[in-house]
Structure 1
Amino acid sequence: MTDTEMLLAKYDDQMRGAPPTLAAGLVHEQDGPLLRIVGQHRGLVTGPRDLGVRGTELDRLIARQRDYFAGRGEALEWKTRGHDTPADVVDRLRAAGFVPEDRETVLIGRTEELAVRQPALPRGVALRRVTADADMRRIAAMESAVWGGDWSWLADDLIGRVAADPGEIAIHVAEADGEVVSAAWLVFRGGTEFAGLWGGSTLADWRGQGIYRSLVAVRARLAADRGVRYLHVDASDDSAPILLRLGFRAVTTTTPYVWTPPGS
C-alpha cells in the first residue's frame, strides 16, 4: 500500500461517520447507508465509500433524501467523493435534480511537519483566536464580501459550534486596523487521528502575503499540541497549490451536489 492509499484508507475509515459533537439544534439521522445532518443552513447527506446499493434502489434512496428536505422547505447537499462507488451516483443525482458545485481536492498532511514554521505576517496584521459572538458575525461579513453573497448563516453556525463544545473548535482571525481580513478554524474530531482545517478566505487586497499560510501553521501547532496526527482539508483550486507546497498530499476529490426547493 502506498502512502497515499494509506492516508485515503484512514480518511474513509475515520472521517465518514457522524461528528462526535453537533451544534445545538443539529441532529444526525441514519437512512440506510447514508448519514443525514439536519438543522443547518442546508441539509447534508454523506455516505461510506461504497453505498452498497445500485440501480433503482439507489434512485429511491436519492429521491427519499430529496423528498425529506423538500418537506422541510430546505436545500440539500449530497457530498460525493471522486473514488466512491457506484460511480454512476453522480449521474443519478443529476437526473434527480441535483446540481454540482465546484469540485475540491481532499488533502491530508502530517501535523508535526506542518507545525514547524509560521511565516511572517504583513506589517500591521495580527492573528487572534476568537470565541465571541460578535467576532463570528465579523467573520461572516468578511466571507460575504469575499464571495459576494449572504454568508450570515456562517455566524450562527460558528456560534453554535463554540457553544456546543468550545474545546473542539479553534477559530482565528487575521486583523488589520480592526478589520477582519481573513479567518479560519480548526475542528477536532474526537476518537480519530484527524482534525479539519476550514475557512481561510481572505479579502482580495490581502492575498498572496502569507496570511493563509500563517493560519495553517498556527492551527497545525494547536493540533500537534493535542496529539492530532493528521490534518485534512477540502481545498479549492486557489488554496490547493499552496497546501501542496506546504506538504499536504492529495488523496481524492469531493464535489457537493445540491438540490434546491423550487422557488427558493
Structure 2
Amino acid sequence: MHELRHAYDTHLRGHLPSPSQTGAVHLRDPHLDGASLVRTHYGTHGVVDHGPLPTRTDLPALVARQRDRFDAHSEPAQWRTHAHDPPALAHALDTAGFTPGPERSVLVAKLDDLPTAQPPPDEQLRENDRVSARAVRRLAAGSGPHRRPLAEHEADGYAFENRTLTLVDGAHVRAASWATLRTGTPFVVLEGMTAPRPEFLGEWARHASSGRVLPLWWVWTQAESRLMSAEVDPAAQPDLLKLLLASGFHQVTTARTHTWVPDGTPAPTRPVTELNDDPEHDDLWDRFTNRFFFAPSATVFPGIVEPTPSVTWSVRAVAGNPQRLAELNRSMRLALAASVPEGEHLYSLDWQHIGRRYDPRRVGGDEQPRHPAHTFPDGDYYINLARDLRLGTFGHPWEHGQGTLCVFGQELLTEAEADLNRLLGSPLRRDGQRAD
C-alpha cells in the first residue's frame, strides 16, 4: 500500500502534462522549493496540483499567489488536496475563500492484477468514433461525477495519450470509459466510466502493456506502463468503487477539490479549440474550397481564385531567416487580431492536418497559450480565416519557388499591407492580377 501511494505521489501529483493540453498553460511556482506544483490556466477555469509540500512552506502565501493569478484571468480555481497533506493547507485554502468539495477515494492498481473480462456475446468493445460520439457525451453528462469530465478530456485536443472506449450493442452505446496515458510516468489514469463495467479495465491494461504496435495506440504500447489510478466519490458511485476494489485496486489516500470563484465573469470557452473530425471543421473547409476554388497542386498556381481585395507576395525574402520569419508571424498575428471585433474567433487551418479556432486576444501573451496561427507556408498550405470568410490569409508552399502569401479582406489589408511590403518586398499580384 505504501509503495503504491509513494508511486502516486511521485509520478502523478504535480505532473507537468506532456504534450500540453490544447488551449491551456501549465506553469510552475518559482517561489516554491522542494516540491512540484503545477498551476494550469484553461481560460474557463484553473487547477492547482502539487506533490507533498515541505513542512517549511508558507502555505498562506503559496495559496494567495495562485489565487491572485487566477483572479487576474477571472478564472474559477480548483485546488486538489489529499488526506496526507498538512492540515494547515486546508485551513489556508479556507481562509483564502476556497470551498471544499466531497471527499473521493484515490485508488491505484497494478495493470498485471487487473482481470480480463469479455463483454457479452451481443456487445463489443471499440474505440469511440464520430458516429458514437454524441451518444457517449450524453452518457458521460448523465453519469459520474467523474475524475475528469469527458468534455474536458475532449477539449484537451487530439492526442494519442487520450483515448475513449465504448461498449456497443449494434448501433447502441451501452457504456463508455476514457483514460489518459501520463507520458513519462508508469501510470494510466482512469478519468471516467459511465457504468461499472469490468470489460473496460482489462482493455485499458491490454492496450497499455501490449507488445503489439497498434496504429492509434502506439504511444501506449511503447510507454511500458505498470500502474493505473482512479478516483471515485464513494457516496455517488458505490457500485464503481466496489468494482474497482474487487478488480485489484487499493485505496491509497483520499482527495478533495477546493473551489474558489472570482468576482469577474469567466470565459465560456478555452482560448484555443482543436478542430479535427467534426462538422465545424468540415463546413469551414467546404465553404473555403467552394468560395475560392481551392485546388492543391505543386505545379498549378496560385491555388485559389484570389478575391478582391487581395494582395499576394512572394515569401522568398524571409525564407531561411528565423528572425524575419518570427517577425512575419508576429506582424500577421497582430494584424489579424486588430481586424476583428473583441469576442470574434478566428480559424487557423492546415491542409490535411488539425485546425484550430481561437480568440486572438487570449493567445500569445503572458500566461496565455501559444498562438496557433502560422503565416509562412512551411511545406503546408497555411490558412487563416474569419468564420464568414470576409478576411484571411492563404499561404501556398510551392508557388514562386519558396512560397507565396495572399492576404485578403480590406480590414486585414489595412492593418497588414505596410508591414508586409517592408518584410516581403513588392507584391506579385493585386486582386488576382499581376502587380505593376
Q: Are 2:190 and 1:189 equivalent residues in the alignment? A: no
Determine which structure has greater relative contact order: mean sequence separation of CA pairs < 8 Å that are 6+ residues apart, divided by chain length.
Answer: 1
- Classify 1:113/1:156 alpha carbon distance in 2 versus 1 (closer, same or farther; 3 Å): closer
Q: Which residue of 2 aligns with 1:118?
A: 117
Q: Are 2:133 and 1:130 equivalent residues in the alignment? A: no
Query: What secondary structure is seen at the aligned counterpart in 2 of 1:46?
Result: strand
Whether contact under 8 Å (1:23, 1:157) holds in the other structure is: no
- Classify 1:141/1:261 alpha carbon distance in 2 versus 1 (closer, same or farther; 3 Å): farther
Q: Are 2:262 and 1:233 equivalent residues in the alignment? A: no
Q: Which residue of 2 aligns with 1:100?
A: 100
1:136, CA displacement in angstroms? Answer: 4.5
Q: Are 2:8 and 1:11 equivalent residues in the alignment? A: yes
Determine the C-alpha separation between the residues in 1 that align with 2:153 and 2:252: 28
Q: Which residue of 1 aligns with 2:168?
A: 175
Determine the C-alpha separation between the residues in 2 that align with 1:229 and 1:195: 8
- Classify 1:191/1:22 alpha carbon distance in 2 versus 1 (closer, same or farther; 3 Å): same
Query: Residue type matched to 2:187 in 1?
Result: F
Determine the C-alpha separation between the residues in 1 that align with 2:152 and 2:92: 33
Query: Residue type matched to 1:222 in 2?
Result: H
List gaps (5 residues or longer) in structure 2. Answer: 211-220, 266-436
Query: Residue type matched to 2:260 in 1?
Result: W
Determine the C-alpha separation between the residues in 2 that align with 1:222 and 1:13: 24
Structure having the higher helix fraction is: 1
Query: Residue type matched to 2:40 in 1?
Result: I
Determine the C-alpha separation between the residues in 2 that align with 1:181 and 1:155: 19
1:131, CA displacement in angstroms? Answer: 4.8
- Classify 1:40/1:118 alpha carbon distance in 2 versus 1 (closer, same or farther; 3 Å): farther
Query: What secondary structure is seen at the aligned counterpart in 2 of 1:120?
Result: coil
Query: Residue type matched to 1:254 in 2?
Result: A
Determine the C-alpha separation between the residues in 1 that align with 2:73 and 2:187: 33
1:174, CA displacement in angstroms? Answer: 2.5
Q: Which residue of 1 aligns with 2:39?
A: 36
Determine the C-alpha separation between the residues in 2 that align with 1:263 and 1:30: 24
Whether contact under 8 Å (1:40, 1:157) holds in the other structure is: no
For normalisation by structure 1, the TM-score amounts to 0.80
Asked which structure has the greater CA Rg, the reply is: 2
Superposed CA RMSD in Å reads: 2.6
Q: How does 1:53-64 map to 2 (within 5 A)?
A: 53-54=56-57, 57-64=58-65
Whether contact under 8 Å (2:43, 2:73) holds in the other structure is: no
Determine the C-alpha separation between the residues in 2 that align with 1:104 and 1:157: 19
1:234, CA displacement in angstroms? Answer: 1.5
Identity %: 27
List gaps (5 residues or longer) in structure 1. Answer: 203-210
Query: What secondary structure is seen at the aligned counterpart in 1 of 2:259?
Result: strand
For normalisation by structure 2, the TM-score amounts to 0.51
Q: Which residue of 2 aligns with 1:219?
A: 204
